[in-house]
Structure 1
Amino acid sequence: MVMASATKSYKNNPGLLARAGSQLRKIPFSVGFGIAWLAAMVLIAVFADSIRPYGITSMDLRARLSVPGHPSHLLGTDELGRDVLSRLIQSVRVSLAIAFGATIISALFGTALGFAAAKFRGNVEHLVLVLADFQAALPFLIMSLAVLAFFGSSMPLLIGLMGFYGWERYARIARGLAISASAQGYAAAIVQLGATPARVYLHHILPNVASTLIVSMTLTFPEIILMESGLSFLGLGVQPPETSLGNMVGFGREYLTRAPWIMLAPAFIIMVTTLSISLVGDWLRDKLDPTLR
């Protein structure tokens, strides 16, 4: 019924259809490719169990190191006869889950500290800025290696650790935008009407700064994917029998000369995914930033 109503609306309003087509044509090809690729990656991650042809630990020793194009293994097999395509699908799910969870944690943590600094000012603001400077100066990869080596690697710990990457960006952005919004006067007017500070920041200031924070998330997301891939490559990220993109690259490097597809397939996914996120993020910045219109 909804589809019929929408179709009727388009038939009765040919100008609406023309405007929709015009908006689609305005999207650059590279951005359209990035959106399509990211949509495909999300669908693969969500329906991984349904589309994966084999289990990630299923071995076929008679088909060890089969080249791509094998009748039973489209992307070939690894050194243990495990299907590369199946492991690649699962790796996409795991890597995206880690990156998405860590990005959300980082954004929430940093935005909350930024709003706290803008609200209380004084010592609280100074403490937040000092912590942000310390985080920016800290070699995060070395700290991550130390933490994972000491406590061991697990999925919750890895997501939580990655969640502390880049929070200082959100804190600085949220603080600056919140101070600017408060200086415009509408926040003070809302307070005079009896609104609580939580309502002012969550219902009035946050929607006005959300576009900038969303763009920042698109910049942090690929960095977290690369960080997780690096940790897994070094053996301190996702641990077997689970797999991730960086994990596959790490194990495949030993067979680069004999079976390069083991390493090149996940490396290609990492490269195209991070490139797509960057392209879409730049496009969103141009669309959401009023100063660039």
Structure 2
Amino acid sequence: MTDTPFAPGTVTTEKSGQERLPSLVVIALLWIAAMIIIAFTADFIRPYDITAFDLKNRLAPPGNAAHLLGTDELGRDVLSRLIESIRISLLIAFGSTLISAFVGTFLGFLAAHFRGIVEQVVLMLADFQAALPFLILSLAVLAFFGNSVLLLTCLMGFYGWERYARITRGLAISANAQGYAAAVTQLGAKPSRIYLRHILPNIASTLIVSMTLTFPEIILLESSLSFLGLGVQPPMTSLGNMVGYGREYLTTAPWIMLAPALIIMFTTLSISILGDWLRDQLDPTIR
């Protein structure tokens, strides 16, 4: 029997092909990385101050040597305001996502640990949160307490916490039923150590995927509030704020609104693509 000759590199090529990231995921990662770099280096790469006026070049179209993306109705550089808007919008979305994940995970652990009346209260609050239109609640809170980036971030942090609470509660109860949590308890470990050192790492992948789903929703929600005039206030700017002010010049100067609108669309789309890919990679039932 003649052995089939071994072709060097065949197995390696197959393995590398299996491990290669999909093209859409690579593009999404590059876009997200670019947005993060812009957010961190905004003060250094911004060509003008966001409040600098150039009244001689009001509503200048893109392609101008002095203003690559044109200017708005006050002669402010659209590119400079876009860079600053990316930083503010990402800051609000990232901070709000962390707050939402922390609150939801904490309440989910409380419900799973104490059960009984505590569990019923947490589930009742989650049902109330899910049934209440969050945009209407946000409009009421911002109209009553005023506007600030800190208040807006904290307010957005209460969006979607019920998802984390339900997921954490269910996974924590399942982990307790598997026995390893009970074994650690018999060794004298405190409940905080059990949930933080043993249960949380086992459910972290699911929570991370949930965060990638909540993040673009918060970006869109902040953009909606800023579009309605109750989000980020001048002289600060955000993506939704730029879209809101640019809608009045949609027919005469569409670049004022189109630039931030495209950033919102591509950013949310990229995070959604990354979230779908992570869900497929971290879900053992799909493999």
Q: TM-score, normalised by structure 1?
A: 0.93
Q: Could you tell me how far apart the structure 1 residues matched to 2:241 and 2:102 are?
A: 28
User: For each residue in 1:155-204, what CA deviation from the matched residue of structure 2 results, as whole angstroms up to 9, or x when unmatched?
Assistant: 11000000000000000000000000000000000011111100000000
- Structure 2 vs 1, CA of residues 268 and 200 (structure 1 numbering), >3 Å: closer, same or farther? same
From 89, 92, 112, give the equivalent of 1:118.
112
Query: 2:4 aligns to what?
Result: none
Query: 2:175 aligns to what?
Result: 181
From 235, 259, 278, give the equivalent of 2:272.
278
Task: Please list every run of 5 or more consecutive structure 2 residues that lacks an aligned counterpart in the other structure.
Answer: 1-7
Letter matched to residue 246 of structure 1:
G
Q: Could you tell me how far apart the structure 2 residues matched to 1:109 and 1:269 are?
A: 29
The number of residues matched between the two structures is 278
Letter matched to residue 105 of structure 2:
T
Query: 2:206 aligns to what?
Result: 212
From 54, 67, 70, give the equivalent of 1:73.
67
Whether 1:268 and 2:275 are equivalent positions in the alignment is no
From 240, 243, 246, give the equivalent of 2:240.
246
User: For each residue in 1:87-142, what CA deviation from the matched residue of structure 2 results, as whole angstroms up to 9, or x when unmatched?
Assistant: 00000000000000000000000000000000000000000000000000001000
Identical-pair percentage: 74
Query: 1:36 aligns to what?
Result: 30
Query: 1:144 aligns to what?
Result: 138
User: For each residue in 1:35-91, what CA deviation from the matched residue of structure 2 results, as whole angstroms up to 9, or x when unmatched?
Assistant: 000000000000000100000001100011010000000000000000000000000
Query: 1:197 aligns to what?
Result: 191
Cα distance, 1:291 vs. partner?
Answer: 1.1
Query: 2:86 aligns to what?
Result: 92
Query: Alignment partner of 2:43: what SS?
Result: helix
Query: 1:225 aligns to what?
Result: 219
Q: Could you tell me how far apart the structure 1 residues matched to 2:18 and 2:270 are?
A: 18
Cα distance, 1:26 vs. partner?
Answer: 2.3
- Structure 2 vs 1, CA of residues 24 and 54 (structure 1 numbering), >3 Å: closer, same or farther? farther
- Structure 2 vs 1, CA of residues 24 and 69 (structure 1 numbering), >3 Å: closer, same or farther? farther
Cα distance, 1:255 vs. partner?
Answer: 0.3
Whether 1:153 and 2:141 are equivalent positions in the alignment is no
- Structure 2 vs 1, CA of residues 201 and 84 (structure 1 numbering), >3 Å: closer, same or farther? same
Whether 1:133 and 2:127 are equivalent positions in the alignment is yes
Q: TM-score, normalised by structure 2?
A: 0.95
Cα distance, 1:27 vs. partner?
Answer: 1.0
